């Protein structure tokens, strides 16, 4: 299960997408993307996805 403390607003992700992706690839922790306070998407690194 994804760590809920690693959730971020969509607008925050849009502004800092490269940094989020770099951090996620290093930590291998999924990033939860929220809209109006509800998780709407989960971003995972390619290795974990496979």
pLDDT in tens, the chain (50 residues): 556 678 999 999 999 999 999 999 899 999 999 999 999 999 999 888 88
Tokens describing residue 25: 């690839």
State residue 6's pLDDT score: 84
Report pTM.
Answer: 0.80
Residue 23 to residue 6: CA distance in whole angstroms? 11
Q: Which helix (H) or strand (E) holds 32?
A: strand 31-35
- 3-state helix vs strand vs coil in the chain, percent to 5: 50, 30, 25
Q: Is 2 exposed, middle or buried (0-12, 13-18, 19+ CB in 10 A)?
A: middle
In the chain, what are the domains?
A: 4-49 (3.40.1620.10)
């Amino acid at each position: 299960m994804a760590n809920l403390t690693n959730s971020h607003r969509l607008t925050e992700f849009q502004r800092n997408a490269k940094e989020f992706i770099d951090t996620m690839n290093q930590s291998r922790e999924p990033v939860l993307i929220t809209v109006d306070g509800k998780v709407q998407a989960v971003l995972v690194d390619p290795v974990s996805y496979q």
